[in-house]
Amino acid sequence: MKITKKEVEYVADLACMEISEEEKEIFTRQLDSILSYMEKLNQLDTKDIEPTSHVLQTDNVFREDKVKPSLPQDEALANAPDKKNGFFRVPRVIEEN
Amino acid sequence: MRYESVIGLEIHAQLLTQSKLFCGCSTRFGSAPNTQTCPVCLGFPGVLPVFNRQVAELALKTALALHSDVPPFSLFARKNYFYPDLPKAYQISQYELPFARGGFIEIDLEKGGRKRICLTRIHLEEDAGKLIHGDGPDSVASFVDFNRTGVPLLEIVTEPDIRSPQEAKQFLQNLKAILTYLKVCDGNMEEGSLRCDANVSVRPCGQKTFGVKTEIKNMNSFRNVQKALEYEIDRQITMIEGGEDVIQETRLWDADKCLSFSMRTKEEAHDYRYFPEPDLIPVRIDGAWIEQTGRSLPELPEAKKSRLVKEYGISSYNAQVLTSSSDMADYFEECCRIIDKPQMVSNWIMVELLRELNRDNLDIASSPIKAKDLADMLKMMDDGLISGKIAKTVFTKMYKTGKKAAQIVQEENLTQITDQSELEKTIDNIIRENPGPVSDYREGKKKTLGFLIGQVMKASHGKANPELVNRILIKKLEDRQ
């Protein structure tokens, strides 16, 4: 096995995902088969090949440093579950010291 | 036991662009919350970032000025974590292939000599939003402003080469001077456009391995960096001497209470799962670009300092102060073009002008007295039109009113009296009114001359030419003997 159920739980936790016991089994099996395939690719000799940095064979696509209009405040906040005085309001993230 | 501290700094410099790193929202500071956002910087689904060319230009300037190696291309990576100030749940940063590697800044040591502080890397990343933690009925909430989200930052990481809080402060001052000379960052620590985090550990002198380090954040001035580091070093030494273990943690500096406390957050994961950002293609910097940008670099603080010492014959200390910003050095040089007395000019800038500016918390660029006006006033003094004492009065009035020296002198009739017959009348009066000191002088107590000169100056309201007074007075006192 390339991946354990414990690692699947860890990754799900980092991604803030709640998954059922049944899903843990399924994902472990599926991820294992993906990783096994990657292992197969690893058998290729890529010693003299430059790593691909991007699938597009281009670089330096720039925009000029020009200000464009932003969203009005009420539109920026339109989808917020909670807001106050122009701010997004979220559950407190820092504990009192 | 004696301990030494080992310090490495991570500096985030906000690059001086008009628009954000990957979208056209303004980077202006101090606007109403959430008025400088768009679907790109708010992390809406389906949007694509487009790189701001000016960011590459500013980063390249900085890398070249700091003697760093700029590889042919750099890549963006996603740093993944959940926090409310990060709307995409990842920060676009650079990881394996940063914009530049290596480089150094030299600092002057207190005990004399110079030291090279090496840099590990320089990379680009986008800033996160601003969080304000509520109080009272809102103490269960935090508030998010995304105006800052996506503003371009240059992260500069040093090697653990710094050995004292003083060295850290010196390093930061030199870095700030370089960044502001290059005009890539405004260097304002209070507004957060220059931020500094520090990794600190202590070890017994002579020990080769590092101690356990802590990370200190939230130090928003040079003075606070020094104070926070001194506090942390003391804290760690006290723990070790007391038999406790230093815990690896992040601590926040509280400038009001002058202490640091452990930062406890509800998001504890530090596994960022970096991977290449698929929405952005590499930034390629070729030799021609490097050469062109290299040619456009201005004279940097160290070079300017040596030149001022050589060209104007001022002391190294004066040159250090005058080159702390390019605006101040320009001010000095502009004055010297009008009045070729560098020592006098540097003294007036460093003593009189900086005192006023520091009191009012002003930059020299916004000084009410412009370089030409100060130089014109100094020239009037040097030409003997006004006395040194009057010059100070005129200076204060110029600073308060923004008027030119010539106008103030004329309006208030402050021109130095160089008319011999007018002065003789005043001196005759003083000799008549002070028979005691006069006879003392004539009996050999030459010290009373100073008193008599003072009386003449007072009677002329400071406008008499002191040299002339001196000459006439001596002549009259000795003649009658």
Q: What is the pLDDT of residues A34-49, one digit of tens each?
A: 999 998 988 999 999 8
Of B37-46, B105-114, B183-192, B455-464, the poorest mean pLDDT is in: B455-464
Chains A and B: how many Cβ contacts under 8 Å?
152
Which of A63, A91, A94 lies closest to B52 in CB terms?
A63
Average pLDDT over residues A53-61: 83
d(CA B361, CA B149): 29
Region(s) of chain B under CATH 1.10.10.410: 420-479
pLDDT at B269 over 80: no
**Is A88 part of any domain?**
no
pLDDT score for A97: 47
Mutation target to probe the B interface, by most B beta carbons within 10 A, among A55, A92, A96, A97 is: A92
Contacts within 8 Å (CB) and 24+ apart, A13-18: A13/B269, A14/B80, A14/B269, A14/B271, A14/B273, A16/B82
Which of A56, A69, A87 lies closest to B144 in CB terms?
A87
**Is A32 part of any domain?**
yes
Which of A14, A65, A84 lies closest to B271 in CB terms?
A14
Which residues, other chains included, contact A81 with Cβ-Cβ below 8 Å and sequence gap of 6+?
none
Using the beta-carbon criterion (under 8 Å), do B34 and A66 form an inter-chain contact? no
AA letter at B396: T
**pLDDT tens-place string over residues B168-178:** 999 999 999 99
Q: How does residue B62 score in pLDDT terms, banded at 50, 70 and 90?
A: very high
Smallest CA–CA distance from B73 into chain A, residue: A59
| Of B180, B264, B173, residue with least CA distance to B223 | B173
d(CA B170, CA B182): 18
- In this structure, how many other beta carbons lie within 10 angstroms of the beta carbon of residue B117? 24
AA letter at A6: K
**B32 lies within 8 A of chain A by CB:** yes
Of A79-83, B344-348, B420-424, the poorest mean pLDDT is in: B420-424
**Is A27 part of any domain?**
yes
Average pLDDT over residues A68-75: 97
Smallest CA–CA distance from B21 into chain A, residue: A65
Name the more confident of A95 and B89.
B89
Which of B34, B75, B265 lies closest to A77 in CB terms?
B34
pLDDT at A95 over 80: no
AA letter at B40: V
For B94-167, where are the E strands, in sequence order? 100-101, 104-108, 114-126, 130-133, 141-145, 152-158
Q: Are B327 and B365 in contact (CB under 8 A)?
A: yes
d(CA B398, CA B418): 24
pLDDT at B350 over 90: yes
Q: What are the Cα distances from residue B307, in Å, to B180, B300, B324, B329, B339?
A: 19, 11, 14, 11, 18
Residue whose entry in the numeric block shows the structure tokens 């304002």: B188
B204 — alpha (psi -120 to 50), left (phi > 0) or beta? beta
> What percentage of chain B carries pLDDT values higher than 90?
70
* Contact residues, chain B, for A78 at CB < 8 Å: none
**A68 lies within 8 A of chain B by CB:** yes
d(CA B318, CA B314): 6
pLDDT score for A85: 95
Which of A73, A86, A93 lies closest to B84 in CB terms?
A93
pLDDT at B234 over 50: yes
**Is A16 part of any domain?**
yes
Name the more confident of A96 and B368.
B368
Query: What value of ipTM does the predicted structure carry?
Result: 0.91
AA letter at B247: I
**pLDDT tens-place string over residues B188-214:** 998 889 999 999 999 999 999 999 999
- Confidence (pTM): 0.83
Residue A15 sits in which domain range? 5-42
Mutation target to probe the B interface, by most B beta carbons within 10 A, among A17, A63, A64 is: A63
d(CA B173, CA B77): 30
d(CA B291, CA B64): 10
CATH code of the domain containing A37: 1.10.20
**Is A24 part of any domain?**
yes
Using the beta-carbon criterion (under 8 Å), do A68 and B25 form an inter-chain contact? yes
Average pLDDT over residues B103-125: 94
Domain topology for B420-479: Arc Repressor Mutant, subunit A (1.10.10)
| Of B177, B115, B181, B187, residue with least CA distance to B154 | B187
pLDDT at B254 over 80: yes
d(CA B453, CA B479): 17
Point out which residues pair with B434 in neighbouring strands.
none
Average pLDDT over residues A49-75: 91
* Contact residues, chain B, for A91 at CB < 8 Å: 140-142
**A7 lies within 8 A of chain B by CB:** no
d(CA B221, CA B75): 32
Q: How many domains does chain A have?
A: 1
pLDDT score for B481: 52
